[in-house]
């Protein structure tokens, strides 16, 4: 998969992409990341990417010309057919795991990192294919949101993780939160690992984990249960959890 980032602060990405899953995926050729400096597409002497809004008001607005030119140059260079041009903005659709799996089906994601007061509306109307947000809050710019999106999409690519099972066991993979995890020592400051995890009984461990992830979701994010696809076993467990049966 190819990621293209359009930003006025390309340097902020250096550390994030130099380690961990993204770095390994780059080295294995599983992903490509190309970063474009938006100012390179400005033709005035000051490389001005923004201007005052028509009608007055505070702040500055990204001009349409450099962003259109940057996206069109990337499209011409890459020649990918299955792509999305995404504006990262608090006005966008909320990014969730289902959206991540959908985005992972593309061959190329072009990410426009907004800044300042916003962007010229003609960019939304005539250039991008969608607008995404990572949460109901305002960031200083779209760069952090782009990092989040690239990290989460990369995790879905086969061979990007050490074990394929890791993705299936992540929170939100099936619209549910994860179950509790424990490791050595078996006893720490008097707090012991649940005995079932030490039993070696794989069926009991499976049932314990399933019950705990459902309990965890019910306690912390009950809204997720309404959209999750639950099998009959999970439905029975949820009935017990709601009744307070231990």
2-7/108-113 β-pairing: parallel
Range of the domain at 228: 171-243
Domain count, the chain: 2
Residues 141 and 195 in one domain: no
Check which CATH number belongs to the domain holding 55 and give it.
3.40.1280.10
150's CB contacts (< 8 A; 6+ apart) are 3, 17, 22, 31, 33, 111
| pLDDT > 70 in the chain, percent | 94
- pLDDT category at 79 given cuts 50, 70, 90 is confident
- Specify the pLDDT at position 118: 87
Q: What does the pLDDT look like over 39-63, one tens digit per residue? A: 999 999 999 999 999 998 888 999 9
- 164-207 pLDDT, tens digit each: 555 555 545 577 898 999 999 999 999 999 999 999 999 999 99
Asked if the model's pLDDT at residue 117 lies above 90, the reply is no
Global pTM reads: 0.85
Asked if 150 and 182 sit in the same domain, the reply is no
Whether 157 shows a pLDDT value over 60: the answer reads yes
Average pLDDT of the chain, as a whole number: 91
Is residue 179 in some structural domain?
Answer: yes
User: Given its phi and psi angles, is residue 104 left (phi above 0), alpha (psi -120 to 50 degrees) or beta?
Assistant: alpha
Distance CA 84, CA 35 (A): 16
Residues designated as active site: 90, 117, 155, 170
Of 125, 155, 185, the one marking the end of a domain is 155
Do residues 137 and 209 share a domain?
no
Query: 68-78, pLDDT tens digit by residue?
Result: 999 999 999 98
Q: What is the CATH number of the domain that holds 228?
A: 1.10.1270.20
């Amino acid at each position: 998969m190819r990621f293209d980032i359009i930003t006025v602060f390309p340097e902020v990405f250096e550390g994030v992409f130099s380690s961990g899953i993204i770095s390994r995926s780059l080295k294995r050729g599983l992903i490509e990341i190309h970063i474009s400096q938006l100012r390179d597409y400005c033709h005035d002497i000051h490389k001005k990417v923004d201007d005052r809004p028509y009608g007055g008001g505070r702040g500055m607005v990204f001009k349409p010309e450099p962003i259109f030119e940057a996206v069109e140059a990337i499209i011409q260079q890459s020649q990918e057919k299955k792509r999305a041009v995404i504006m990262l903005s608090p006005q966008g659709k909320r990014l969730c795991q289902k959206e991540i799996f959908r985005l992972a089906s593309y061959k190329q994601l072009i990410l426009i990192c907004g800044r300042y007061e916003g962007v010229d509306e003609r960019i939304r109307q005539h250039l991008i294919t969608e607008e995404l947000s990572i949460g109901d809050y305002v960031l200083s710019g779209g760069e952090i949101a782009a990092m989040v999106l690239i990290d989460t999409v990369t995790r879905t690519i086969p061979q990007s993780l050490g074990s394929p099972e890791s993705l299936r066991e992540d929170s939100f993979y099936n619209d549910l939160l994860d179950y509790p995890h424990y490791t050595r020592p078996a006893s720490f400051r008097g707090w012991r690992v649940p005995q079932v995890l030490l039993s070696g009984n794989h069926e009991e461990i499976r049932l314990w984990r399933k019950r705990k992830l459902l309990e965890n979701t019910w306690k912390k994010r009950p809204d997720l249960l309404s959209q999750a696809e639950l099998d009959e076993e999970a439905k029975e467990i949820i009935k017990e959890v709601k009744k307070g049966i231990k």
